[in-house]
Amino acid sequence: MVQYYQTDFDASFGALSDATRRGVLEHLGRADASITALAEQFEMTLTGMKKHVSVLEQAGLVTTEKVGRVRTCRLGLRGLQEEAVWIEKYRQLWSARFDELDNVVEELKSKEKADGRKKRR
């Protein structure tokens, strides 16, 4: 089987596919937080939040550090630049295709108007 995406992409998009994990990233973009604080903010159990943070950590989007009994989360060093480039490439491709479709539709409308004028005469 052919693999079209890099493993990092799979992990990143998998991590981003969940609204809670996207919310955690948004929160950590503003300030570091403990898993306890994140669990409280998202109204979930510590175990549930640990699982979400683990997925983000495996994707390289979050790092954690344990000091005493507190595990603090912060944004990871790995950003989403490669994913953004990949998305932009496909956005441009689809934009070009839709622009071409618009041209075809406009051309058909023009022909339809011209044909309508010919029939009325």
pLDDT tens digits for range 47-66: 999 999 999 999 999 999 99
Residue 75 β-bridge partners: 62
* Burial status of residue 71 (CB atoms within 10 A of its CB: 0-12, 13-18, 19 or more): middle
Instruction: Give CA–CA dist 55/111, Å, rounded.
Output: 55
Question: What's the predicted TM-score (pTM) here?
Answer: 0.72
Claim to verify: residue 26 and residue 70 sit in the same structural domain: yes
The number of folded domains in the chain is: 2
- Residue 34 is inside which H or E element, if any? strand 33-34
**Amino acid symbol at 83:** E
Q: Which two tokens stand for residue 4?
A: 């079209």
**43 and 58 both lie in a single domain:** yes
98 assigned to some structural domain: yes
In angstroms, the CA 66 to CA 71 distance is: 4
31 alpha carbon, distance to own chain's centre: 21
Question: Which CATH number goes with the domain that contains 23?
Answer: 1.10.10.10
* One domain for residues 48 and 20: yes
Output the pLDDT for position 84: 86
Domain of residue 40: give its range: 7-75
Q: What is the pLDDT of residues 34-45, one digit of tens each?
A: 999 999 999 999
Same domain assignment for residues 71 and 31: yes
Looking at the structure, tell me whether residues 14 and 65 fall in a common domain: yes
Contact 53, 64 (CB under 8 A): yes
pLDDT tens digit at each of 121 positions of the chain: 445 556 678 889 999 999 999 999 999 999 999 999 999 999 999 999 999 999 999 999 999 999 999 999 999 888 788 888 888 998 999 999 999 999 999 999 888 887 776 666 5
